[in-house]
Amino acid sequence: MQSLGFELKNEANLATLTLDIIKSNEIEGEYLNQDQVRSSIARKLGLEIAGSVNSDRYVDGVVELMLEATQNYSNEITKTRLCNWHAGLFPTGRSGIFKIQVADWRTVVNGPIQVVSGSIGKEKIHFQAPDAKLVNREMIHFLDWINASPNIDLIIKAAIAHLWFLTIHPFEDGNGRIALAITDLLLARSDKSPQRFYSMSSQIHIKRNQYYQILEDTQKGNLDVTNWIVWFLTTLIETIESTELVLNRIFLKADFWNMHAKTIMNQRQKNILNKILDGFEGKLTSSKWAKITKCSKDTAVRDINDLVKKNILKKENAGGRSTSYELVKIDE
């Protein structure tokens, strides 16, 4: 990473943070708009990006949580700090349609917290959190431990902290996302850098069935957390190895724009090409082009045909009702 230039480092950091935030929410069943997340991060880091869009209140709150955790990784983790993160996740005071306790530990009034699957009458309880009356005491122990001078490796500490926080389940909702933020904070502390070049949440998302199973097995077992730590470390290694894919995409993007530095393009074309280079999902058609860039269908067709003539886009071979286009590879 040290060999990367300033702009490429920023691009790598932006790509990783975007992926981390999106996947940490998907693990918990929340699906965010990639463009909104990327734009919100860029604004808060003071980075200029092409195709910036407005982001909603929830996205901004989620982004602020992650950036506050990783940019200020050396600061103590306190109840106030965790409650501020929680408030950012639930700016309306509701989780879906339900009103919840926000920015404070859960209370007895809210009833027991259970992780349950199955239909009504055939429920299976995978985990039941400690009684709400015990939460404050347990969180005092947890915060004292996490803020103490590290007597164990910080990566091992991140693994234990993740499990311990989820087991206490101090909030009525949002515990998974905050556990991942604590994990990222401790990994940033281990790296001694606020810049993120790998996404643990992305790899956990890929292995989420394993993730929930190892959590359940560990929480229902005795005090031996060896299997959980081994799983966490294995997943972290896989995360770092997969970082090469993100970096390759960033290098490809840099090479592309270096090659086309003098190519004349309008802003719509540049915005769409950046979306493709950032990992645009699905088929690129003239209809999608028009919708994304907010132009007419005729204008979209002209934009696309111009890029085809310049050997930047080409028609995809796959058949279908609508013609779709893909980027011409640099070596073609």
What's the average model confidence in pLDDT over 293-318?
Answer: 94
Task: Provide the whole-model pTM.
Answer: 0.81
Shared domain check, 169 and 276: no
Evaluate whether residue 332 is within a structural domain: no
211 labelled ligand-binding: yes
Q: Is 198 annotated as a binding residue?
A: no
Quote the number of domains for the chain: 2
Find the domain containing 295 and state its range: 265-327
User: Which residues, 6 or more positions from 200, have their beta carbon under 8 angstroms from its beta carbon?
Assistant: 20, 180, 183, 184, 187, 235, 236, 239
**The pLDDT value given to residue 5:** 59
SS3 315: strand
User: Does residue 150 sit in helix, strand or coil?
Assistant: coil
Which H or E run includes 55? none
Residue 55 included in any domain: yes
Residue 46 has pLDDT above 70, yes or no: yes
Same domain, 99 and 196: yes
The DSSP secondary-structure symbol of 104 reads S
The answer on 241 and 146 residing in a single domain is yes
Together in a domain, 275 and 184: no
Q: What CATH number does residue 195 fall under?
A: 1.10.3290.10
- 162-177, pLDDT tens digit by residue? 999 999 999 999 999 9
SS (H, E, C) 223-274: CCCHHHHHHHHHHHHHHHHHHHHHHHHHHHHHHHHHHCCCCCCCHHHHHHHH
205 is catalytic: no
**Res. 190: pLDDT tops 80:** yes
Tell me: pLDDT of 2 over 60: no
Tell me: the pLDDT tens digits for 220-238? 878 899 999 999 999 999 9
Of the candidates 141, 169, 205, 260, the residue annotated as catalytic is 169
